[in-house]
Structure 1
Amino acid sequence: MFVITAGRTGPNRSLRFGGDLSLDERGHRDMSALAAAAVDPAGVVVICGPERATRESCALLAADHVVDARLASPDFGAWSGLAPEEIEPEQLRAWFTDPSACPHGGESIASFVERIHRWRADAEPAPDVCVVSMPVAQALLADDAARYFAVEVRPRPSTNSPAGDDTGSPECPFTSAMSPDTVFRKKLKHVLIVGRVRRCSSGPKKT
């Protein structure tokens, strides 16, 4: 399964929690450039999260796709739309150090990661391409909630899986026509191709 993060919006450019805004101009441009590099996506199963920017990104990439509410970003509660400097330091510290903490009244990291891992374990059949928000991509790659913030999600110059992958798998239809070192880094630096994410064989880990 290939994971692509949604294009840029104002909030993720300025590092704000949550929100549900549309792609900004750069986000539209990046996703359109990625779509232009695609090969024939016939038969490719594409699933995306429910956020506006995620749906807009997916629509630019694939006319036929399915929106799955289970792939929603974490509920940031009272922090939604706020920048880190607008939040009490003690609350931020608790949230970053204790996966079970829920100082904003929304969803804890433990609950969020468990939800995403459950989706990954139950997805049948697994989609070929998954378009999600950055936090969801981070949760998909994290081994468990305790390691969530240790996962660094950033643009990659290739589609190799960070955790290894089955040999002989088909190329992602949205990257095989691209030059990784030039097109991806220069034109699509705000779009993330994480690589393949292997399903959990034993379901989500308990925290």
Structure 2
Amino acid sequence: MRVLIAEDDPYLADAIRAGLRRETIAADVVHDGAAALEAVVDETYEVVLLDRDLPGVHGDEVCARLAREHPHVRVLMLTAARTLDDRVTGFELGADDYLPKPFEFPELVARLRALERRSQPASPPVLDADGIRLDPFRREVYRNGRLVRLSPKEFAVLHTLMKADGGVLGAQTLLEQAWDANADPFSNTVRVTVSNLRKRLGEPWAIQTVPGIGYRFGTAG
């Protein structure tokens, strides 16, 4: 999953981004409403974590425009206001969920993952194929009953490929889904990560290279 954090408090934004990365969620940060609207045009996000009181273009207007112009993007609105009227207004603007500040980080992660599931076709929360079982909530991977320890990026790449259900994904798609905007599209990051992931999972190789196109999950043959 890739999340855009639109929050004008740089310390809070950086803390949220660091926490999400530990949860294998790629995250980018902007600090005003205009930058948020520009970012969703330039990049692909499943969820926008939107501070309601953004400077410049107010968070309310950002929310309304996202709902109108980018209906596939889910919006989780953050605000210090806690009244029922504030929550109702947020939903009327097009927010998919609402979380008052201060909040507990595990609840934020749970709400983000719930919105991710709503933004995609229904799929089982635990993925199981070719002897590999991936639990995105416990962040555990087993191969034939053996626990496989993966780095956050390896886990994110495997999760993205397994969700594709045998489809071929290019390196650019994997960068968009598993890394943030600082990833260099001309580096060999994806190739190295896939290579390390194959080794950790062991033979038979569970990730196949499709020459000139990308990668797909599934053992050969």
- TM-score, normalized by length of structure 2? 0.28
Q: Which has the higher contact order (CA 8 A, sep 6+)?
A: 1
* Max Rg structure: 2
Q: Which one has the bigger strand percentage?
A: 2
